[in-house]
Amino acid sequence: MESVVWQGLALSGIFSWIVITCYFDVTKKIRSLLQPWVSHHVVSGTSIILKIQKHQHKFLDALFSGLSCIVSVPFYTAFLPLLFWSGHGKLARQMTLLMALCDYLGNCIKDVVSAPRPNCPPVRRITATKDEEENALEYGLPSSHTLNTVCLSGFLVCYVLSYTQCEDAFVKLGAVTLACLLVGFIGFGRIYLGMHSLIDIIGGLVFGFMILAIWLTVHEYVDAFIVSGQNVTSFWAALSFLLLFAYPTPEFPTPSFEYHTAFDGVVFGIVTGIQQTYHQFHHEAVPRIFTSQLTIPTFLGRMLVGIPTILIVKFCSKALAKWILPVVSNTLGIPIKSTSYIPMLNGSATDKKSSEIKQSSYIHKMPCVVRGRSCPLPLLSPEVVMLLLGIGST
């Protein structure tokens, strides 16, 4: 009964927050206070970026572009499943939840502040991959790469030291030093690549350490709820749906909402699966890598089977969403505005309409009225369909 009470209070609190922020237009008020200040520091920080980029070299371009792949979508696609297959299920699910939390909160802050990235030109912006090109479409503060690296490396160090019960101060210092070096290289690399200003990196560090500190305080309670709580699936479904509505509307559309929704779908699927199969496959007594029960060849076999399976599911989930939406839209007459997954859904369009759709390819929300005020609500989109299916696309 106590579990039901706090779940109801949590969902009611989020719903109340949605209504309050819509009624009082909280996002725009916060933006009006922070955006000018952040934008000023972005402009003033251009000189620092240009000084750093004077030392440009092909090796540095490749190095920092490669490091940027850490905490990217392809990285998550490979890294998080490896944790499950290695037998460290607790680390895997907690890391997945933490990265989803970082993604949501980081993108929320980006779209609330809606501060620009460094102007290009004069800054030279290097986008070596498609993911980087899409990242450049988002707002700047805070740096998601910096924020996510702080949380990922920090939590990983804490878990490893706790799991190994290491008491050697030298080893602890070495682990923390390596984590700090990784964060430093990532942050410096984002400036070198022209993706962020110094203020964005500082913001990523501050928010990253704040989120990490909070997560280290609550992660055991969250994990206990997932593996043995009541109404886990229904609560998480309601939570995921409300988070769509709680997401702030940016000054101009960006792909940030897509990233959050896709990752939210991944988390929903993982939470549901673990809650239902914990005692069969995800308990603490499962074989772990580097033991006689889980040898390296067996682990490699899991990779050879698992990675292609993930890629196939990812491809099929997107294809399924693309097939479902036009059918639902045309059959029920539901007005659907698509994101970049589907350029057009309903009927034939003129060149003018096609142009408008292209310009608004990242528009994912529609206005509703709360006591005469505009309140953003997410439309049915491929990402939302994948969230409801619990499969995501990250």
Query: How do residues 127-161 score in pLDDT, each as one tens digit?
Result: 877 777 787 888 988 999 999 999 999 999 999 88
325: part of which helix (H) or strand (E)? helix 296-332
Q: What is the pLDDT of residue 5?
A: 86
3-state secondary structure at position 177:
helix
Q: For the chain, what is the largest distance between any 2 Cα atoms, rounded to a whole number of angstroms? A: 69
Q: What is the pLDDT of residue 122?
A: 87
Instruction: Decide which of 114 and 284 is more confident.
Output: 114
Is pLDDT above 90 for 209? yes
Q: What is the pLDDT of residue 218?
A: 92
Q: What is the pLDDT of residue 283?
A: 78
Is pLDDT above 50 for 372? no
Tokens of 362: 């990242």
Q: Report the share of the chain in percent with pLDDT over 90.
A: 29
Query: Residue 289: beta bridge partners?
Result: 294
Phi first, then psi: what are they for 380, rounded to 5°? Answer: -65, 125
Find tokens 């049915």 and name the residue: 380
Q: Report the share of the chain in percent with pLDDT over 70.
A: 84
User: Which residues are part of the catalytic machinery?
Assistant: 145, 196
Average pLDDT in the chain: 81
Tokens of 137: 């479409």
335-344: pLDDT as tens digits: 665 555 455 4
Residue 257 burial (C-beta neighbours within 10 Å; 0-12, 13-18, 19+): buried
Q: What is the pLDDT of residue 337?
A: 57
Q: What is the pLDDT of residue 338?
A: 53
- Asked if residue 153 lies in contact with residue 184, where contact means CB atoms within 8 angstroms, the answer is no
Is pLDDT above 70 for 242? yes
Residue 190 burial (C-beta neighbours within 10 Å; 0-12, 13-18, 19+): buried
With a CB cutoff of 8 Å and minimum separation 6, the contacts of 76 are 99, 263, 394
Q: What is the pLDDT of residue 89?
A: 85
Q: Please give the average per-residue pLDDT across 182-187, as a whole number.
A: 93
Q: What is the pLDDT of residue 378?
A: 43
